[in-house]
Amino acid sequence: MARVSADDRRRQLVAAAFRVIGRDGFAKATTRAICTEAGASLAAFHYCFASKQELLTELTDQTLAALAVARAGGTHIRGDVAASLRETLRFYWKTVEDDPGRESVLMALTQHALNDPALAGVAQQQYAAYHRTARETLQEIGDGCGTRWTLPIEQLARMFIVVTDGVTLAWLVDRDGAAARAALDAFAEQFAAFAAREES
């Protein structure tokens, strides 16, 4: 049997943890279940990771990195702020529908991390990444449309995350894509009211 390198085994275990959490939830994502899913021994697990918490932290890092790649280039400038927001949110929404398992795992991880002292800071790391992406997106839209935001961009970014989180969670429950897209389109129209054209 070919020897699996430590780096490859780590990747296999992280991928297995992702599948187990997405399919069975955190309660059943034991170290043994993850090893079984990966086809690895418990000894191999402990060679690669000091603890299950270390694996979950790496899972968060890898999933957020993959999310950043999936959403790269997702800001779309379409002449005015409302149209730009609408197209940008539609691009975001496509990444959600393309990989619902990722969204389920990230939301489950947030809740789990908030209740596990060993994962202190993981949920904050997630949302710092979300807020940074939202701020950058809004800055790009404002600059691209020649407008300025009338509220602090940090406040607007938080609103952006609250709405996209809510729409995503509702869709994970009911899988009504048309309703989700309609809600995001309406939000884009309303959110555009916070933009004012720069004076020449």
**Domain total of the chain:** 1
14 burial via Cβ count (<10 Å: 0-12, 13-18, 19+): buried
pLDDT at 66 over 90: no
Please report whether residue 63 resides in a domain.
no
Residue 168, token pair as written in the block: 């995503």
Please report whether residue 16 resides in a domain.
no
Residue 94, token pair as written in the block: 């496509």
Please report whether residue 133 resides in a domain.
yes
Please report whether residue 145 resides in a domain.
yes
pLDDT at 89 over 50: yes
Please report whether residue 31 resides in a domain.
no
Residue 34 — pLDDT band, cuts 50, 70, 90? very high
- Residue pLDDT, tens place only, 133-142: 999 999 999 9
Give the CATH number for residue 94. 1.10.357
pTM summary value: 0.86
For residue 90, give its domain range. 72-197
Please report whether residue 60 resides in a domain.
no
pLDDT at 92 over 70: yes
pLDDT at 199 over 70: no
The whole-number pLDDT of residue 26 equals 83
Which amino acid appears at position 140 of this protein? Answer: E
Please report whether residue 2 resides in a domain.
no
Mean pLDDT over 40-67 rounds to: 90
Rounded Cα gap, residues 26 and 5, in angstroms: 27
Residue 128, token pair as written in the block: 């710092």
Mean pLDDT over 153-166 rounds to: 97
Instruction: Between 77 and 198, name the one with better pLDDT.
Output: 77
Please report whether residue 140 resides in a domain.
yes
Sign of CA dihedral 149, 133, 169, 175: positive
